Amino acid sequence: MSQTNTAPLRQRALLTDEQLAHLPTHHPLKTAQTGESAMIRTLTGRSADHSPVWFMRQAGRSLPEYRQIREGIPMLDSCLNPELAAEITLQPVRRHGVDAAIFFSDIVIPMKLAGVGVDIVPGRGPVLDAPVRTLEDIKNLPELEDSALDPIRQAVALTVEQLGSTPLIGFAGAPFTVAAYMVEGGPSRDHLRPRTMMHANPEAWEALGQWAARTSAQFLAAQIEAGASAVQLFDSWAGSLGQADYRRFVQPHSAATLAAIEHYGVPRIHFGTGTAELLPAMLEAGADVIGVDYRLSLSEAQRRLGGGIVLQGNIDPALLASGWDALAAHTDSVLEEGRCAPAHVVNLGHGVPPTTDPTVLTRLVEYIHTQTRKAS
């Protein structure tokens, strides 16, 4: 199959009054002017007085204040306690001065709230009571009731109240990444079972993809309506797929999730790892911004995307532990590479490793702000 460059699909004008009409009057894009923050200006392709930076997995593991507040409280209980989820979301914003908060939750929360037996096992990740492997299993999946998302709405509302003009990014797992956990029953390296299911039982895969697309869309809509100013769809494990399978079995479901929230007008970031071959297909799924992992340079990503696309990324998380000089030099090259995009949100190429020294992250935020600040 040829991998040709697609022409820029669109450079949507975002955040027009018409689009914002779908958001409630108390939404921070309207009241707290998050729409003029460096983060949202950049996500919508406008210039800002500095390049915004946030880190995937900034909330959690690497912060001592996180480990302290979570002590004795299971992960999913923390996510469903609105005060606690709001506090954990705010911790990295206070400490590092990042340009956006990422909502403290997990991609399995919609599953949990629908009534699927799932837990997050410390040191391992999401584990289901019973894997979902047959059409029968999938037909028996409970639907996510809208009212079950109330703790999420409350947590988001509490968070944005305290964030002021700093935007909150909502998120969900993309249908493939969520379905991969459901079919495997837990974390796996190469996601063999879901990749087999696509071909062995396409009807079951289709039904599961639709279920996951629906619940992730509901999760995103709840966060947007409660105050998230942008969203990110995490397809962390899409890199285990070839392009043909991605386009046939995965892209339609991710597209359904992204389309279900398009009318709100909030910027939608689409991120995956190991996705060098999939970037055009991920953009075609309906994203406004593409998150690039650390394996591919931003300029090569832009070339593959056809040009003109707002990019997010892609400092290699390994460099956070390599000493300041190496990290600063690597960051300079990422900032330079970011000039290939109409606008660039600085981030890591994947999540903050749990062992990261938090003072390095604070220094890195300061450094990126200084290096990119425009003279006024």
**One-letter amino acid for residue 18 of the chain:** E
How far apart (Å, rounded) are the C-alpha atoms in residues 190 and 102?
A: 27
Nearer to ligand 1CP, 63 or 340 (CB): 63
Contact of 361 with 55, CB cutoff 8 Å: yes
List the one residue from 35, 42, 104, 342 that touches ligand 1CP (CB under 6 A).
104
The question of whether 57 is a catalytic residue gets the answer: yes
Closest contact distance (angstroms) between CB of 242 and ligand 1CP is: 20
Q: Taking CB under 6 A as the criterion, which residues in 166-185 touch ligand 1CP?
A: 171, 177
The question of whether 181 is a catalytic residue gets the answer: yes
Question: What are the C-alpha distances in Å from 33 to residues 91, 159, 227?
Answer: 22, 15, 12
Q: Determine if 279 is a binding residue for ligand 1CP (CB under 6 A).
A: no
Question: Residue 119, class by beta-carbon neighbours within 10 Å (0-12 exposed, 13-18 middle, 19+ buried)?
Answer: middle
- Active-site option among 106, 288, 293, 316: 106
Which tokens in the block code for residue 348? 């890591």
Which tokens in the block code for residue 181? 């956990």
Cα 67 from chain centroid (whole Å):
22
Q: Taking CB under 6 A as the criterion, which residues in 43-62 touch ligand 1CP?
A: 56-61
- Active-site option among 12, 57, 193, 248: 57
The question of whether 61 is a catalytic residue gets the answer: yes
List the one residue from 45, 82, 110, 126 that touches ligand 1CP (CB under 6 A).
126
Q: Tell me if residue 376 falls in helix, strand or coil.
A: coil
- 224-229-233 Cα angle (round to 5): 70
Closest contact distance (angstroms) between CB of 357 and ligand 1CP is: 17
Provide the mask over 284-323, with x wherever binding to ligand 1CP is found by CB under 6 A and - wherever it is not: ----------------------------------------
- CA atoms in the 13 A half-sphere facing the CB of 10: 10
List the one residue from 187, 252, 308, 353 that touches ligand 1CP (CB under 6 A).
187
Residue ranges with strand state E in the chain? 101-102, 118-121, 125-128, 168-173, 230-235, 268-272, 289-291, 310-315, 344-348
Residue 75's closest CA among 83, 84, 62, 65? 84
Provide the mask over 202-241, with x wherever binding to ligand 1CP is found by CB under 6 A and - wherever it is not: --------------------------------x-x-----
Q: Determine if 107 is a binding residue for ligand 1CP (CB under 6 A).
A: yes
Sequence-distant (6+) residues with CB within 8 A of 36 are 165
Q: Which residues pair with 128 in a beta bridge?
A: 118
Q: Which residues pair with 11 in a beta bridge?
A: none
Q: Determine if 82 is a binding residue for ligand 1CP (CB under 6 A).
A: no
Nearer to ligand 1CP, 240 or 372 (CB): 240
Q: Which residue is nearest to ligand 1CP (CB)?
A: 125
List the one residue from 97, 125, 131, 274 that touches ligand 1CP (CB under 6 A).
125
Nearer to ligand 1CP, 45 or 99 (CB): 99
How far apart (Å, rounded) are the C-alpha atoms in residues 329 and 338?
A: 14
Q: Determine if 72 is a binding residue for ligand 1CP (CB under 6 A).
A: no
Sequence-distant (6+) residues with CB within 8 A of 159 are 85, 86, 89, 90, 101, 103, 168, 227
Cis amide leading into 5 (omega within 30): no
Q: Determine if 122 is a binding residue for ligand 1CP (CB under 6 A).
A: yes
Nearer to ligand 1CP, 37 or 356 (CB): 356
Q: Which residues have a catalytic role annotated?
A: 57, 61, 70, 106, 181
Residues of the shown chain interacting with ligand 1CP in the complex, contacts defined by CB under 6 A: 56-61, 75, 102, 104-107, 120, 122, 125-126, 171, 177, 187, 234, 236, 351
